[in-house]
Amino acid sequence: MKSISELVGELKGDEGWWEEVVLGWGYGVACGVAELVLHELDQELMKGREEGLRVKNFKERCLTTVFGDVRIRRRVYMDEAWRGQDGAADLLEGEGATAGVGQLPAPARGAQR
């Protein structure tokens, strides 16, 4: 991300488009903050996970937001009790808050499959 000094240097001699430059920089900051907030939410979901759930792997997603695309990594959990049945894995509840465009949220724990 560019510093304020870099933005000023970029605008010298052509101040007519400063609003676009500042807005673009602000959107970049907003994307970074969104990534941090969603990462922390995933951390909290991990801490509060039910006993018997373990992290199977991670899924990367790209969320389209009003301020730009936000890349996140979410944990996919394996329920040890389901192991060997169908290899089912789920994202913890809260996934609906970060479902991408055109994607359905994961079913709640214990929902019929």
Q: What is the mean pLDDT of residues 67-83?
A: 83
Task: Examine the pLDDT at 101 and tell me if it is beyond 60.
Answer: no
Give CA–CA dist 6/19, Å, rounded.
Answer: 15
* Euclidean distance between CA atoms 9 and 21, whole angstroms: 11
**pLDDT bracket for residue 29 (50, 70, 90):** very high
Question: What is the predicted pLDDT for the residue at 113?
Answer: 35
Q: Report which of residues 40 and 83 the model is more confident about.
A: 40
